[in-house]
A and B are shown apart, each in its own frame.
Chain A
């Protein structure tokens, strides 16, 4: 039991698990029910409504993954992040990113990880990037990092100083569900961190310091209606802990990496893929995030989205690295798709900003 628990505290990479490898994940996603014709492939499905090949619209979001290291090992993590991941963006790559940030047409800069705060150059990067004056500057913080070590205690003030938009994961308003997905003790630390963010003005009614929460289902099911969930979260967090936040983003778990591993191990994979395909919403295809986003990996390579980054599917363009970035050339490409993409088109759709279709 203890051995099992210890294993769960390690990334799939550390465990040398089969699904740590992108090619194994893609193989799984292309075979079985999709190869025998039981379910249509994603390309077949979007072709029905004339969306194949999927093409970018205007670039709006530049998402930069500054490293896969994290203080948590969440069961559903599509990054397979954890303390044992050593892939961290260097200052040199950050300098290349800064050049792009200064000149991009994107209105949103979105820093993610791992826990982005664990990158040793994180604060310098935020300071420099904030000078570019991008309209919406997001940092995806897992909350517990704020309470993980003294050196992070001042993060709420740091975020405030640079007018950072904080987006944080919170799978439920109860301890049991949260800790089950994100690890023992995560709930209490997250609550404390949220209270500290509130204390400096984040998430308060009318405050320009934006604090949004991300909800991921804690199991093999799809998220419910985002608006209703937000209402329930707000009521419970306010009543139980006096916590305020602005919006809740309901995000579907995509069947890759640790979540794929979980689906297979729990014998939920096929049913989950059926649920995703059945919930396919053509309206969501028009607004999937890969159409207006470029994702940059820790080593500077470019991807259609963070999920394709984890599947090592680089953009289908002659420009593949931040050092040679050219927005016009990049925008003239076909988006690479596979069956994991059904996760972004199920129900109300799903993106890093939550639901995409009404």
Chain B
């Protein structure tokens, strides 16, 4: 058990253990996961950058750890990684701001 943290870096290595309490679903998930990241219409390199961006928008420390390392292993540069994070941030920021239209609609409807 981690002493004082909800998140423990050592837990990332134990990810595979989730199959212990639900073998079939766990194994199906990992099989799917592995398949998703194979070379396809998108290269494994492009997928790694997408994963890194999503890792940030999801604010998942395990995923950030894993896909920063994965990016380095694939020769992805710091500039490429940071641009991917900005793509995530832009969508996240845009997603917040576009709701401003909803707010405007509501205010415009209510206000005289």
CB of B69 within 8 Å of the partner chain:
yes
> In the complex, what residues of B have CB within 8 A of residue A219's CB?
72
CB of A224 within 8 Å of the partner chain:
yes
CA distance A274 to B75 in the complex (A): 21
Verify A217–B13 contact, CB threshold 8 A.
Answer: no
Q: Closest B residue to A221 by CB, please name it.
A: B72
Q: Which B residues between 71 and 105 are near A, CB-CB below 8 angstroms?
A: 72-75, 77-78
> In the complex, what residues of A have CB within 8 A of residue B75's CB?
172-173, 215, 224, 229, 232-233
Q: Closest B residue to A347 by CB, please name it.
A: B73
Verify A174–B77 contact, CB threshold 8 A.
Answer: yes
CB of B45 within 8 Å of the partner chain:
yes
CB of A176 within 8 Å of the partner chain:
yes
> In the complex, what residues of A have CB within 8 A of residue B36's CB?
none
> In the complex, what residues of B have CB within 8 A of residue A229's CB?
74-75
Q: Which A residues between 29 and 81 are near B, CB-CB below 8 angstroms?
A: none
Could you give, for residues 38-55 of chain B, a 1 whenever the CB lies within 8 Å of some chain A CB and a 0 otherwise?
010001110000000000
Count of residues in A whose CB is under 8 Å from the partner chain: 19
Contact of A176 among B44, B74, B77 (CB under 8 A): B77
CB of A354 within 8 Å of the partner chain:
no
Q: Which B residues between 26 and 42 are near A, CB-CB below 8 angstroms?
A: 39
Shortest distance between the CB of A216 and any CB in chain B (Å): 12
Q: Closest A residue to B77 by CB, please name it.
A: A174
Verify B77–A228 contact, CB threshold 8 A.
Answer: no
Shortest distance between the CB of B14 and any CB in chain A (Å): 12
> In the complex, what residues of A have CB within 8 A of residue B39's CB?
228
CA distance A278 to B69 in the complex (A): 15
> In the complex, what residues of B have CB within 8 A of residue A232's CB?
45, 74-75
Q: Is the interface of B mostly helix, strand, loop or mixed?
A: helix
CA distance A177 to B73 in the complex (A): 13
Verify A217–B77 contact, CB threshold 8 A.
Answer: no
**Residue picked from B44, B73, B74, most chain A C-beta under 10 Å:** B73
Verify A228–B74 contact, CB threshold 8 A.
Answer: yes
> In the complex, what residues of A have CB within 8 A of residue B43's CB?
228
Verify B73–A222 contact, CB threshold 8 A.
Answer: yes
Shortest distance between the CB of B76 and any CB in chain A (Å): 9
Contact of B73 among A172, A174, A221 (CB under 8 A): A221
Could you give, for residues 55-76 of chain B, a 1 whenever the CB lies within 8 Å of some chain A CB and a 0 otherwise?
0000000000000010011110
Q: Closest A residue to B43 by CB, please name it.
A: A228
Verify A224–B74 contact, CB threshold 8 A.
Answer: yes
CB of A223 within 8 Å of the partner chain:
yes
Verify A228–B13 contact, CB threshold 8 A.
Answer: no
CA distance A233 to B77 in the complex (A): 13
Indicate whether A177 sits within 8 Å of B45 (C-beta atoms), given known contacts A217-B72, A219-B72.
no
Shortest distance between the CB of A290 and any CB in chain B (Å): 25
Shortest distance between the CB of B104 and any CB in chain A (Å): 45
Shortest distance between the CB of A222 and any CB in chain B (Å): 6
Could you give, for residues 3-43 of chain B, a 1 whenever the CB lies within 8 Å of some chain A CB and a 0 otherwise?
00000000001000000000000000000000000010001
Chain B residues proximal to chain A, CB less than 8 Å = 13, 39, 43-45, 69, 72-75, 77-78
**Additional pairs, 6, CB under 8 Å, beyond known A224-B74, A229-B75, A232-B45:** A172-B77, A176-B78, A177-B77, A219-B72, A224-B75, A225-B74
* Listed A/B pairs (22) with beta-carbon separation below 8 Å: A172-B75, A172-B77, A174-B77, A176-B77, A176-B78, A177-B77, A215-B75, A221-B69, A221-B73, A222-B73, A224-B73, A224-B75, A225-B44, A228-B39, A228-B43, A228-B44, A228-B74, A229-B75, A232-B45, A232-B74, A232-B75, A274-B13
